[in-house]
Amino acid sequence: MKKIDGKQIAKDLVSELTQEVEALSGDKPCIAFIRVGDDPASVSYVKSKNETAAKIGITPLLFALNESISQEELFAKVDELNADPKVNGILVQSPLPKHLDEQATFNRIDPLKDVDGFHETNAGRLVQEDARGFVSCTPAGIVEICKREGIKMEGKHVVVLGRSLIVGKTFALLAMQKGEYANATVTVCHSRTKNLAEITRQADILVAAIGRPEMVTKDMVSEGTVVIDVGINRVEDPSRKRGYRIVGDVKFDEVSPLASHITPVPGGVGPMTVALLMSNTVKAYKLQQA
């Protein structure tokens, strides 16, 4: 079993991007973060993205908006950043409060600045396998892990647990497209799937992105499977000072002895999401210079 060190792979990517940004003449790339409300997980994710951007030499701008902001006010902020030539990338942290329309907000972002890849144009470009588009950072981070660990998907059975736009659906599209680190046979499972364990046991590569703490148990995994755990779940833990701990969607201790490779939580896919966001921001900068 090989425990994949996502933190180290992300560090390598961040250091490559730092050199690339250092070599740019003129204005440096700039990313704007919009966070609405104070959801603790969102505060922590945006903070981490902000810090990584600054470290690379990408200028971060943070807009922390009030929980009660209206849809029109949020659109106005997005419009302002769309029109600002200094801003290369815009990220609206998900989830938004319930009174706001998340997809409409993503669709308001200029597709050339949509470093999250959630705009309908970029989703469409992914379906059409058009490399000009931006791909959602977590699925792109998983592909990057596979590349750097030499895990080829060609002809393999990839089973994806979860069908969100942010991860499951997008990763399924990436895995099935044509290409060296793609060409997989893909099955997507979700909350309504019957005989789940029967299907997951057939996986050569199992990607768990369903947001249910430690749901994947050893009876669901065959020996020699590559297990990618995308879950970041907070579970109560009174023994910890902060009152909770973070667990993945996979029961690591019992699944890891079966796996050929496995990503831990934390320190697996999570850091890759942030690194790929920075890579998308540099890509946006270059496309906008061209």
288 binds ligand GUN per the rule CB under 6 A = no
**DSSP bridge partners of 261:** 2, 226
**Residue 208 to residues 99, 101, 226, 267, 275, Cα–Cα distance (Å):** 29, 26, 11, 15, 20
Nearest approach, Cβ of residue 58 and ligand GUN (Å): 16
Exactly one of 137, 151, 205, 210 binds ligand GUN (CB under 6 A); that residue is 137
Residues 6+ apart with CB under 8 A from 265: 229, 231, 232, 246, 247, 248, 250, 252
Strands of the 205-208 sheet, one edge to the other:
2-3, 261-262, 226-229, 205-208, 157-161, 185-189
Exactly one of 52, 105, 121, 138 binds ligand GUN (CB under 6 A); that residue is 138
Closer CB to ligand GUN, residue 115 or residue 205? 115
Nearest approach, Cβ of residue 271 and ligand GUN (Å): 13
Amino acid at 184: A
Exactly one of 273, 279, 280, 281 binds ligand GUN (CB under 6 A); that residue is 273
Residues 6+ apart with CB under 8 A from 280: 89, 115, 116, 117, 134, 135, 137, 140
Exactly one of 9, 58, 91, 284 binds ligand GUN (CB under 6 A); that residue is 91
Residue with tokens 């831990």: 264
Taking CB atoms, the residue at the shortest distance from ligand GUN is 94
* Calpha distance 53→58 (Å, rounded): 5
Amino acid at 185: T
**Catalytic position from the list 110, 114, 116, 229:** 116
Q: Is 84 a catalytic residue?
A: no
Q: Is 286 a catalytic residue?
A: no
Q: How many residues bind ligand GUN (CB under 6 A)?
A: 9
Closer CB to ligand GUN, residue 116 or residue 214? 116
Closer CB to ligand GUN, residue 116 or residue 204? 116
Residues 6+ apart with CB under 8 A from 133: 117, 121, 122, 124, 125, 126
Nearest approach, Cβ of residue 116 and ligand GUN (Å): 5
93 binds ligand GUN per the rule CB under 6 A = yes
Binding mask 148-187 for ligand GUN (x = CB under 6 A): ------------------x---------------------
Strands of the 89-92 sheet, one edge to the other:
59-65, 30-36, 89-92
Nearest approach, Cβ of residue 166 and ligand GUN (Å): 5
Q: Is 2 a catalytic residue?
A: no
**DSSP bridge partners of 231:** none
Catalytic residue IDs: 49, 93, 116
Q: Which residues bind ligand GUN (CB under 6 A)?
A: 91-94, 116, 137-138, 166, 273
